[in-house]
């Protein structure tokens, strides 16, 4: 069984103007690629945890959709982690998907106490 770690919410990856809550999940051991470095059972074990965290996140904040992405680069963050970003209800279609995730469209400034309260709310659903 692969051990994994969850961090919620994440300021290191801005969720953009529409997805103010983000979470990310990564294995405790260094994994560079889920395709090359994990066998099927390890990948499925990680995805079970990602699913559990996504459900907790959706229970803590309103979410019309939950975006889940594995992002990174060999030059920047050469390790596997999954980003979870809930899309709030009512966001117009043309502002969803990649646009909702882009920091280029602005990033909300969420204070530390609000971040801590959100993290507690997510944990309460795990």
46-93 pLDDT, tens per residue?
Answer: 899 889 989 998 998 888 888 888 876 677 766 777 888 888 888 788
Mean pLDDT of the chain: 75
Q: Which domain CATH number covers 119?
A: 3.30.428.10
- Alpha-carbon distance of 48 to 91, in angstroms, equals 28
Residue located via tokens 């390790």: 79
- Give the domain range for residue 11: 4-124
Is 15's pLDDT higher than 60? no
pLDDT of residue 83: 82
Number of structural domains the chain divides into: 1
State pTM to two decimals: 0.74
pLDDT of residue 6: 44
Strands in the chain per DSSP E: 4-7, 23-27, 65-70, 82-87
């Amino acid at each position: 069984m692969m051990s994994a770690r969850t961090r919620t919410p994440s300021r290191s990856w801005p969720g953009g103007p529409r997805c103010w809550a983000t979470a990310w999940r990564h294995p405790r051991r260094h994994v560079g690629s889920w395709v090359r470095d994990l066998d099927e059972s390890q990948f499925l074990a990680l995805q079970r945890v990602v699913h559990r965290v996504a459900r907790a996140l959706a229970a803590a904040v309103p979410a019309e959709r939950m975006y889940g992405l594995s992002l990174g680069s060999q030059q920047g963050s050469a390790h596997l982690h999954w980003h979870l970003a809930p899309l709030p209800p009512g966001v117009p279609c043309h502002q969803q998907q990649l646009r909702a995730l882009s920091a280029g469209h602005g990033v909300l400034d969420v204070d530390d106490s609000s971040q801590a309260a959100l993290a507690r709310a997510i944990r309460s659903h795990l």
